[in-house]
Amino acid sequence: MRNVTEDTLTKAVLDTISDDADPRFREIMTGLIKHLHEFAIETNLSKEEWLGAIEFLYQTGKKTTRNRNEFILLSDTLGLSSMVDMISSRGDDDATAVSVLGPFYIEGAPFIKNGGDLIKNNAGQPTLVKGCVTSTTGEPISNALLDVWQNAENGKYSNEDPDQDDDNLRARLNADDDGSYSFTTIRPSPYTVPEDGPAGVMLEAMGRHPWRPAHIHFKVSAEGYQDLITEIYPEDDEYIDADAVFGVRDSLAVEFKATTSEAEATRYGLKSPFLTVEYDFRLRPL
């Protein structure tokens, strides 16, 4: 190994992986080492640039806590998270597209009844969300669990805003036997990803904006089906085609439609007019 050169170094590193290593770990590390080395060679990475990258990672580590993961934010803003989502959904065209989980999910949101309300004291445009949970072949799934979370009119999630209750705009509900679900909420707001850390520095240096289009997060689960993690976006959002984390898919951009149905207004305790979103979730079997 002592006569290693730029041309033979990659193989020398790969050769150190033991034959006894887990085959999948070997596959991943082989890909990682090859791409790291090719990246350095193709960009003629200098020692000073390497040191700059090391300092950037140092700062990223310092900024990261269990509640604020700057590594995830880098993965999101570089499109890696969406790439992993797309890879895991290959050949899955009949299922609802997945989208990024994001950093604001909290397990254990309070249960509300199907048809229940998330608006409570929130300002914002009242919105009825309704639809059906089905299999990829369109058959209704009974009693699917929907875990829902979104931000408030000021653009903030409850876990980044001391003025909101911890559970604000978060709930779990069970769909009916026929797969139908509904709840009332407010229209979510576009917002910026956190800019006060290394990811913000990177976006600034790339000349990129930090905005995400508004969205409602869903985690939909049912026995015999794969968990679906996704987001739906108002199709008329200003940032619908410029999401800083590349989470939007055509099929996830939906109309928040002005509605004047007095029957529904009465049924859901809303004042007319309000917005209605209709969205069906199609789950992939296990």
Q: For the CB of residue 226, give the shortest distance to a second copy in the complex, in Å.
A: 11
Stretch that binds a second copy, among 32-40, 107-115, 150-158, 263-271 (CB under 8 A): 32-40
Assigned token pair, 187: 């229209």
Segment contacting a second copy by CB under 8 A, of 62-70, 122-130, 146-154, 215-223: 62-70
Q: Which residues contact 74 (CB under 8 A, 6 or more apart)?
A: 60, 198, 199, 202
CA–CA dist 132, 176 (Å, integer): 9
Q: Specify whether the CB–CB gap between 100 and 247 falls below 8 A.
A: yes
C-alpha closest to that of 143 among 179, 187, 116, 189: 179
Q: Count the residues of the shown chain that bind a second copy, applying the rule CB under 8 A.
A: 79
* Annotation marks residue 37 as catalytic: no
Active-site residue, from 170, 181, 187, 191: 191
163 near a second copy, judged by CB under 8 A: no
Residues 12 and 17: their CA atoms lie apart, in Å, by 10
Quick one: 24 or 271, whose CB is closer to a second copy? 24
Contact call for residue 286 and a second copy (CB under 8 A): no
Return contacts of 88-93, CB within 8 angstroms, 24+ apart.
92/136, 92/284
Q: Is residue 87 close enough to count as binding a second copy by CB under 8 A?
A: yes
Give CA torsion, residues 70, 245, 29, 89, to 10 deg: 130
106 is a contact residue toward a second copy (CB under 8 A): no
Within 212-241, which residues bind a second copy (CB under 8 A)?
Answer: 233, 240-241
State yes or no: is 209 an active-site residue: no
Q: Which stretch binds a second copy (CB under 8 A): 7-15, 120-128, 167-175, 259-267?
A: 7-15
Cis omega (within 30 of 0) for bond into 273: yes
Min dist. Cβ of residue 147 to a second copy (A): 17
Site for a second copy in 245-274 (CB under 8 A): 246, 248-250, 252-253
Residue from 170, 181, 187, 212 carrying the catalytic annotation: 212
CA-to-CA distance for 264 and 144, rounded, in angstroms? 23
Show the tokens assigned to 133: 């949970």
- Binding segment toward a second copy, per CB under 8 A, in 58-66, 114-122, 130-138, 263-271: 58-66
* Token couple for 55: 């300092």
Q: Is 212 a catalytic residue?
A: yes
- The stretch near a second copy (CB under 8 A) out of 107-115, 134-142, 179-187, 242-250 is 242-250
Q: In this structure, are residues 173 and 207 in contact, taking their beta carbons and an 8 Å threshold?
A: no
Taking alpha carbons only, the member of 212, 108, 102 closest to residue 170 is 108
Binding test (CB under 8 A) with a second copy, winner from 32, 113, 196, 238 = 32
User: Token pair 């000349």 is at which residue?
Assistant: 207
Asked if 260 and 209 count as a contact pair (C-beta separation under 8 A), the reply is no
Within 33-52, the residues that bind a second copy by CB under 8 A are 33, 35-47, 49-50
- In angstroms, what is the minimal distance from the CB of 196 to a second copy? 17
Among positions 94, 111, 196, 206, the unique one binding a second copy when judged by CB under 8 A: 206
State the catalytic residues. Answer: 157, 191, 212, 215, 217
